A and B are shown apart, each in its own frame.
Chain A
Amino acid sequence: MRIRILFTSLFLATFSNVAAHAHAFLDHASPLVGSTVASAPHEVALTFTQNLESSFSSVQVTDANGARVDQGKAQISGNSMRVGLKSLSPGTYRVRWHALSVDTHKTEGSFTFIVGGR
């Protein structure tokens, strides 16, 4: 009986008002995380599991020497973020992103991709 009271109380409290927001995880990237692409991509596109706060989310792409190869400010819409790239030569590139989901949860991450099969 007492267990039932406890569980019922907590379940009612827990599920009575669940908001549809959470941390934004990287769901998909183009180029794929860790992939090797034969030809240089023109942009990096990231898709997240939650909608993003555009003013506080960002992405940058750097080459093996740490030099920026993206074209600046990312375009952010809904749960996606994309940034144009300069002309890339064969090599390894790192994508670093920061995301703020619409309920102010912050996440971050980075990954590499390789151009030209090197």
Chain B
Amino acid sequence: MLRSSSCSRAFALALVFLALSAAEAFAHCFVGPRFFPATLATDDPCVADEMSLPTVAWSKTGDVPAATEWDVSVELSKRITEDLGISIGDTWSNIHQPGGFTQAGFGNLETTLQYQLLKDGPHELALLLGLIVDWGGTGAINSGLADRWSTLTPTFYFGKGFGDLPDSFGWIRAFAVTGQIGYQFPTRNFDVDTGSFIPQVLAYGASIQYSMPYLKSEIRDYQFPDFINHLIPIVEMQLSTPVANNFGNSGLTTGTINPGVIWVGTYFQVGAEAVLPVNHSSGTGVGFLGQLHLYLDDMFPTTIGRPLLGGSSAPPQQLKF
């Protein structure tokens, strides 16, 4: 039964991707001269036509003794209009206990509706609102990898580049920060299976990134090798803190800090990060996170790289100089 529903979901995901093939195009996360890459552990501050295929994570859990966990995720993002977008994604997990016991299966299907509040090019500022829905009962409940209940997470995202600082700041202008903060509401208050309360959680994260492409094209071209000029070193942080309905559970903040680097190409980017748990409840030792991310608007500018609605068929307005 589970196998059948998962196969159907895989086909449905692929069909949704194929069906979104008739609209209009502009960009992934460009804000003025600043390009914000797709971050691996958090989300970038733009609606876009893009796909993470796949994101792979390896880590050791905080259990004693620690279990080994592999996660493989896929996420497809598609603009409905220039400012409104949806994402759909899922994660397959394999958790291997030291005694030989293994849990494997899909988590719940996750969708996100996002609206672009602002893109201020001169100030390299992007603001985004989103609603993340984790659809209860769509994953491997019996394996303990998915919940029976759904979770709603209204989330605010931002991105800010420092390129609007005075020229005298020099190479510092290539820095940028992104962040997000959301509040998770489960659709149930109590888990009858485990006899515990289901907490409401504050989920937040941020990144600080240094853009070598920006340094080269906006500040100073040091004529580094081409490979170097495509790199964006980054440190991400993702945390969650139970804040309500948490009776009898630990109120401890959990999360990870992820130093890494993203290589940005014309049609795709590749990212790799180390995963450092912030405390023992968040994991054990150093994990790994890797991602191949495709820019669908560049790969398919005349088909699925366009918004579904509201795209202009008229030629763009001629620039006046």
CB interface residues, A 65-118, toward B, < 8 Å? 98, 100, 103-112
Q: Nearest chain A CB to B192's CB is how many angstroms away?
A: 29
| Residues on the B chain within 8 Å of A10, using CB | 13-14, 17, 51, 53, 74, 76
Q: Which of B54, B72, B300 contacts A19 (CB 8 A)?
A: B300
Indicate whether A44 reaches chain B with its CB closer than 8 angstroms: no
| Residues on the B chain within 8 Å of A3, using CB | 10, 72, 92
A interface footprint on B43-65 (CB within 8 Å = 1, 0 otherwise): 00000000101100000000000
Contact B221 A29 (CB under 8 A): yes
CB interface residues, A 16-32, toward B, < 8 Å? 17-19, 21-23, 25-26, 28-29, 32
| Residues on the A chain within 8 Å of B294, using CB | 14
Closest B residue to A74 by beta carbon equals B321
Indicate whether B30 reaches chain A with its CB closer than 8 angstroms: yes
Q: With A14-B294, A100-B316, A105-B297 in contact, is A6–B221 under 8 Å at CB? A: no
Indicate whether B253 reaches chain A with its CB closer than 8 angstroms: no
Q: Nearest chain B CB to A58's CB is how many angstroms away?
A: 4
| Residues on the B chain within 8 Å of A55, using CB | 318
Task: State in angstroms the CA–CA spacing of A25 and B215 once bound together.
Answer: 13
Task: State in angstroms the CA–CA spacing of A76 and B88 once bound together.
Answer: 41
| Residues on the A chain within 8 Å of B216, using CB | 33
Contact A23 B27 (CB under 8 A): yes
Q: How many residues of B contact A (CB 8 A)?
A: 50
Q: Nearest chain A CB to B230's CB is how many angstroms away?
A: 10
Contact B218 A111 (CB under 8 A): yes
Task: State in angstroms the CA–CA spacing of A3 and B7 once bound together.
Answer: 8
Indicate whether A39 reaches chain B with its CB closer than 8 angstroms: no
A interface footprint on B1-25 (CB within 8 Å = 1, 0 otherwise): 0010011011101100110000001
Closest A residue to B298 by beta carbon equals A22
Q: With A23-B27, A25-B213, A33-B218 in contact, is A98–B10 under 8 Å at CB? A: no
Task: State in angstroms the CA–CA spacing of A26 and B213 once bound together.
Answer: 9
Contact B298 A23 (CB under 8 A): yes
Indicate whether B285 reaches chain A with its CB closer than 8 angstroms: no
Task: State in angstroms the CA–CA spacing of A23 and B268 once bound together.
Answer: 12
Contact A19 B266 (CB under 8 A): no
Task: State in angstroms the CA–CA spacing of A3 and B91 once bound together.
Answer: 10
Q: With A2-B10, A9-B10 in contact, is A56–B318 under 8 Å at CB? A: yes
Q: Which of B10, B13, B316 contacts A56 (CB 8 A)?
A: B316
Task: State in angstroms the CA–CA spacing of A8 and B318 once bound together.
Answer: 42
Closest A residue to B92 by beta carbon equals A3
| Residues on the A chain within 8 Å of B74, using CB | 6-7, 10
Contact A14 B51 (CB under 8 A): yes
Indicate whether A41 reaches chain B with its CB closer than 8 angstroms: no
| Residues on the B chain within 8 Å of A60, using CB | 321
Indicate whether B121 reaches chain A with its CB closer than 8 angstroms: yes
| Residues on the B chain within 8 Å of A59, using CB | 321
Q: With A6-B13, A33-B216, A109-B33 in contact, is A14–B53 under 8 Å at CB? A: yes
Indicate whether B303 reaches chain A with its CB closer than 8 angstroms: yes
Q: With A23-B30, A103-B302 in contact, is A13–B17 under 8 Å at CB? A: yes
Task: State in angstroms the CA–CA spacing of A110 and B122 once bound together.
Answer: 11
| Residues on the A chain within 8 Å of B6, using CB | 2
Taking beta carbons and an 8 Å cutoff, which residues of B are in contact with A? Answer: 3, 6-7, 9-11, 13-14, 17-18, 25-27, 30, 32-33, 51, 53-54, 72, 74, 76, 92, 121, 167, 213, 216-221, 223, 266-267, 294-303, 315-316, 318-319, 321
CB-defined A-B contacts under 8 Å, sample of 28:
A1-B3, A3-B10, A3-B92, A5-B10, A10-B76, A11-B53, A13-B14, A13-B17, A13-B18, A14-B17, A14-B53, A17-B300, A18-B300, A19-B302, A23-B27, A25-B266, A33-B217, A34-B219, A56-B318, A57-B319, A59-B321, A98-B319, A104-B301, A105-B26, A105-B297, A109-B33, A111-B217, A111-B218
